């Protein structure tokens, strides 16, 4: 996961350096909590 996050951050940096506007929320980390069970997804509660 860490390598994937670094790759995504590098790609975003390249877009910004090229003059692209990725939007106001680009690069902001978010947390997603599993509040409901869903078939095929592991939950932690």
- Global confidence as pTM: 0.58
Q: What are phi and psi of 19, to 5 degrees?
A: 95, 5
How many domains are contained in the chain? 1
State the DSSP string of the chain. -HHHHHHHHHHHHHHHHTT----TTTT--------S-BTTB----
Q: What is the pLDDT of residues 1-38, one digit of tens each?
A: 789 989 999 999 999 999 999 999 998 888 877 677 88
Q: How far is CA 15 from the centre of its chain?
A: 15
Give the residue with greater pLDDT, 39 vs 21. 21
Residue 7 belongs to domain spanning: 1-44
**Cα–Cα–Cα angle for 17, 8, 23, nearest 5°?**
55
């Amino acid at each position: 996961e860490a390598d994937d996050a670094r790759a995504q951050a590098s790609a975003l940096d390249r877009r910004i350096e090229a003059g692209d506007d990725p939007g106001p929320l680009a690069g902001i980390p978010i947390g997603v909590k599993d509040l409901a069970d869903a078939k095929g997804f592991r939950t932690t509660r």
